[in-house]
Structure 1
Amino acid sequence: MDREPKRVGRPPVHTEGYTKATVILFNKQIVFLDRLAADIRHNTGAAITRSEIIRILIDLLVGSGVDLTAAKTEEDLRACLKARLQI
């Protein structure tokens, strides 16, 4: 009788390949992500992670059609996105 080895940790939830990445965020950005995740959990009972929020934001940017290739600085990126989002 063959048994599959028992996996340690959380079960995989991704349906496509992924790479673990480390990024530097400002404290205020971490606080925002944590508060958003906590508010979502409080309002809906759903547990959403920082990573899920960041992945969704990136996916939306990819699908937006916004061309950021002329940006030379973080401020250029910010200005382009603010203009596109009209904020």
Structure 2
Amino acid sequence: MEDNGNTPTINRGRLRWLASRHALLELDIVFRKFLDEHFDSLDEANLAVLEELLALEDHDLWEMISGRRECTEARWKELVGLLRAG
């Protein structure tokens, strides 16, 4: 995607790196599979959502992905569903 000055382009390499840096092994496993299966097909909007999810604390993120806590953010639901299905 070309940067027109209005919207920053998401750095895919940085997101891939962030997705592999968790304190919980469970998250590393889930994200490794998710990245292998879906990362290349994500558009800029979903990459931005992924960046938001990766900014969450590991335990909060795991609670949501594991289904122990409901995903209350509408914009996160699609990716959380893909992560859960992994």
* Both proteins in one fold, TM over 0.5: no
Tell which structure's C-alpha radius of gyration is larger.
1
TM-score computed with the length of structure 2 as normaliser: 0.28
TM-score computed with the length of structure 1 as normaliser: 0.28
| Greater fraction of residues in helix | 2
